[in-house]
Structure 1
Amino acid sequence: MTHPQTRNPGTALTPSWLEDVAVNTPAAEERAIKLTANRPLKGTWQAAWLVNAIRCMDLTTLAGDDTEARVARLCAKARRPIAEPILCALGLDHLTTGAVCVYPTMVRSAVRALDGSGIPVASVATGFPSGLMPLALRLQEINYAVAEGAAEIDIVITRAHVLRGEWAALYDEIAAMRDACGDAHMKAILATGDLQTLTNVYKASMVAMQAGADFIKTSTGKEAVNATLPVSLTMVRALRDYGDRTGARVGFKPAGGMKTAQDALNWQILMKEELGNDWLQPDLFRLGASSMLGNIELALSQHVTGRLAASHRHAIA
């Protein structure tokens, strides 16, 4: 599996790390624009970065009509995310996605379908997407998903704690969820589209990491506004500050709103420029954007053939 060798041990709640934090939104927006404008990627370099995006992708189905058959198709796509002729033309003999993410009731089916592949199964939990369930029930849902075989748990936080500045309550909630995860790695979904300000995004990120989150994640994909580059930049800066203070390496997962191959490039550029090459590996970076895979495959097909291909020529999950 692609997990880091060591996990984020967390720290005691340290409110002083939140004091005097005020994110300059126009400056964050300007920096995000400059990041992507300064690194145009073409040709072989672009293809290599797109392949890496697939390696870091959490292929996901979180629909109300999910079935075991749909999950099995998704897992087959995770094992072989691009067509064999494209893979061979790129000089690759093996490529998989970083993980498959499903609801808790679909974890066992996904584990069975991925047996022997080395691809971990991630599960959303804790009353996804709203998180508005009693904490005891949210912890039971984590326990269930882990017992079914999930190696990663994507939890959601209570947004009201952030909006009211209730940092101790947020910390205690996330720490309890981390304990419930046991050996499973925990990604903390902040639902940044609900948090109103980038300052809130930074503070929520820092508290989640203090509570032991192994990854911080932007969105459920169900909010009105999901992953954006300014939000991601803010979270990555919090991640970097936390690492500087503790030495711990925490992963980052943008999710929702990303649909194109260019989006895949943009978020990788952000990671490289802000954190370096280590955060271009699936143990520290994931993309929660399954719809993006089809567009990446089309771009790679055009790269190896020199011509545009119709989307219906490529298999979908």
Structure 2
Amino acid sequence: MAGDRIAVEVDGRRLTLSNLDKVLYPAASFTKRDVLDYYARIAPVLLPHLRGRPVTFRRYPEGVDHEPFYEKDVARHAPDWVKTARIVSRRRGEGTIAYPLVNDVPTLAWAANLAALELHVPQWTVGPEDARRTPDLLVFDLDPGEPATIVECCQVALRLRDALAAAGLTAFAKTSGSKGLQLYSAIRTRRAEAPSEYAESLAQRLAAEDPGLIVARMAKALRPGKVFIDWSQNNPSKTTVAPYSLRGRERPTVSTPVTWDEVGACRRAGELTFTSDETLARVARFGDLFAELPEHRVTLPRGASRPGK
């Protein structure tokens, strides 16, 4: 029955799983049991991208056909073995938040049992005493405005990749698991604000070069038929969906790393849409396409760290 609860042990940690037969993706008959199975199998490549980063859950306890909610603070209900980072929020009224640190398989299973389908992380990790480290990732979220699709995002991604390469940065691409594409570069910086400044400057430059395809301003009225380069994901207060996270879409699609050959060859939106099973098959074939991202970490160039510079 849907309400059944079972006690399990995962890597020495005991937890209770519930409602395993509850359908969370009705269009795909994909249950909570399937969600747990996916996260258990994808854990070896997912966990390195979560480790040390405060995680924000997007939970769908009634399934993707119902309204989800975001959860940051898990202090009231997390098992005592779940590691948390207590971080003072920069948003007024939020105070100190006990974010979960999903560093291991038991914590990942606990999150999946909460129907935390989506796992969102910032571009920084926590250090001793939960202090925020400066960002170690530069992220660009390419968002198509209808009738543009991920096909146009791929065109913009190639130009963005080349611009980053000219500045000494190596870009890695993944699908958002929704409509768009996301680019990551590993960086070093001493200022938390520098990545956002750099990303905004580069987005504005590309938009000026091709205003018919690219927009760098957030106004939605400017986006139809174009690709918005969302540079604001680099704000230290913002998060981005993690590589290999499920998304709360009609089907269990995944934010999936892709090769640059795939980006260059994309001619139809469906070519870069991957479900959980397809992503697991890709990992079996390619391994983690984001595994080498940290090896390409370089100092964020100073010359473009401020808009207009």
Which structure dedicates a bigger proportion of its chain to strand?
2
Which structure dedicates a bigger proportion of its chain to helix?
1
Q: Normalising by structure 1, what TM-score?
A: 0.28
Q: Higher RCO, 1 or 2 (CA under 8 Å, sep at least 6)? A: 1
